Amino acid sequence: MVRCREGRGRVAALAPLLQGLAIASFALAVGFGAQVWAQDSGDAQRRLERAQRELREVAAERRRIENARGAASRELRAMDERLAKASRALHDTDAELARQRKALADAQAREKQLAQNLAAQRAQLAALLRAAYTVGSEAPLKLLLSQDRVAEAARVLTLHRYLQQDRTRRIAALSEELRELEELGLRIAEQERELEATRARQREQLAALQAERKRHAEAVAKLDASYQDKRSREKALGSDVAGLRKLLAQLRAAAERAEAERRAAAERARRAAAEAGAPPPKPAPVPAQPALRVGGLGWPLSGSLIAGYGGKLPDGGKSSGLMIGAPQGTTVQAVAPGKVVFADWMNGYGLILIIDHGNGYMSLYARNEALLRDAGDMVERGDPVASVGSSGGPGPPALYFELRRNGDPVNPDTWLKK
């Protein structure tokens, strides 16, 4: 839009020159031609030299900005990769912390069960000891006198002794296992504290990286805007130079024309002035529509639909997939089972992950903050594969999703509704 306004402004600025050409041609016809042509030709020549000088300066500045933009884009890619690594590390720490907490809960449950078993064994041993005490110190003689056969009496005494020894061994084993469980619980608790500290440090690092990445993205956006402005300026100046050269040629030709060309020259000037008239009116702004909420079923995430299939992307390009806005770090899920065949940074897409679903179908997930899977990993539908970000360029956090068949983009609606 800015470029169009500049172009129309420059055409309008040339209108007085074209009208001056008509006046000069008319003056030539009535006897003042040589003097007026010399004046207009010198003015046009000075304008041409100024425009050419400015064109060279703008072209040099545009090349400088282009180099700076390339360096800034490379820095942005490196920042996206660092941010992805930090986010992946935080995700892994959270997963490990969840595993440690489960292990601690399991150990505590086992410890409680063993304590109950130990109490039962101690109760049984106490009952045996009370029975032995009741019989008294002459228990063997009493047992022998109460038996008809000596062998049977010996067997009863031996069995009584074995029961006490077995209870004692079980109590010792349970006590040892309880001691080991207590040590395990202490170790797990210590690991959990270390993981909590690690997670806190990683969250701080991730926040710092996100802030730095935002600054880089803003710098790239400013360089992009400056680059586009210089390109527009360069293009407009090129048009001015061409117009001024043409004007000089017309002025020189006008000096050689006779009275017979006066009417034709005036008509040409009139047409040129009409062409450089007021710009067409601006279209009335279309009121913004509320963003469509999407998600559920087979969608990779829930959020606001920024651009649908075949729609218009924020940068003005045509969308070959879907762009879904969501908060930074929102989990992105696989839309179908398959194998991760690519997981890396790609120019224009930022951090992108591609899954091969077989039968020629592939799904693409771009602009991510972090990739949670590596090339070669197998995934199921609904598995987390990435987290939402804005890698690859400026703009708010959003997922760019495509479904391709045999390399060509296709409308993913049917898949997402399964």
Using one digit for the tens of pLDDT, what is the confidence trace for 221-237?
877 787 787 777 777 76
- The type of residue at 145 is L
Reported as type and span, the H/E element at residue 331 is strand 331-333
pLDDT reading at 313 higher than 80: yes
pLDDT score at 19: 44
DSSP classification of residue 322: E
DSSP string, 33-61: HHHHHHHHHHHHHHHHHHHHHHHHHHHHH
Mean residue pLDDT of the chain comes to 75
Rounded mean pLDDT, 33-48? 59
Environment class of 380 (CB within 10 Å of its CB; exposed 0-12, middle 13-18, buried 19+)? exposed
pLDDT score at 288: 47
Give percent above pLDDT 70 in the chain. Answer: 70
Residue, of 316 and 290, whose pLDDT is higher: 316
DSSP string, 340-372: EEEEEEETTTEEEEEEEEETTEEEEEEEEEEE-
pLDDT score at 259: 59
Classify each residue of 151-182 as buried b or exposed e, where b means 16 or more C-beta atoms within 10 Å of its C-beta.
Answer: eebeeeeeebeeeeeebeebbeebeeebeebe
Q: Which residues have CB under 8 Å from 135's CB, separation 6+?
A: 142, 143
| CATH 2.70.70.10 intervals, the chain | 292-416
pLDDT reading at 156 higher than 70: no
Residue 380 near residue 337, CB atoms below 8 Å: yes
Determine the 3-state secondary structure of 402 from DSSP.
strand
Name the architecture of domain 1-280: Orthogonal Bundle (1.10)
Residue 236 near residue 7, CB atoms below 8 Å: yes
Rounded mean pLDDT, 307-313? 91
Reported as type and span, the H/E element at residue 125 is helix 33-135
Q: How far apart are CA 47 and CA 60, in angstroms?
A: 20
Rounded mean pLDDT, 29-45? 52
pLDDT in tens, 178-221: 787 778 778 888 877 888 888 888 788 778 877 877 887 887 78
pLDDT score at 250: 59
| CATH 1.10.287 intervals, the chain | 1-280
At 24, the pLDDT band (50, 70, 90 cuts) reads very low
Q: How far apart are CA 368 and CA 332, in angstroms?
A: 9
Give percent above pLDDT 90 in the chain. Answer: 22
pLDDT reading at 255 higher than 60: no
Query: Which of 71-80, 291-300, 354-363 tops mean pLDDT?
Result: 354-363
pLDDT score at 20: 41
Rounded mean pLDDT, 144-164? 61
Tokens of 192: 């959990």
Quick check: pTM over 0.75? no
Which range among 105-109, 259-263, 279-283, 321-325 shows the weakest confidence by mean pLDDT?
279-283
pLDDT in tens, 261-291: 767 866 777 787 787 764 544 544 444 445 6
Which range among 178-182, 191-195, 320-324, 368-372 shows the weakest confidence by mean pLDDT?
178-182
**Is the domain covering 292-416 a CATH 3.90.550.10 domain?**
no
Residue 386 near residue 104, CB atoms below 8 Å: no
pLDDT in tens, 379-399: 999 999 999 999 987 789 999
Nearest to 232 by CA among 66, 65, 47, 62: 62
Q: What are phi and psi of 339, to 5 degrees?
A: -120, 130
Which range among 17-31, 184-198, 347-361 shows the weakest confidence by mean pLDDT?
17-31
Rounded mean pLDDT, 100-128? 77
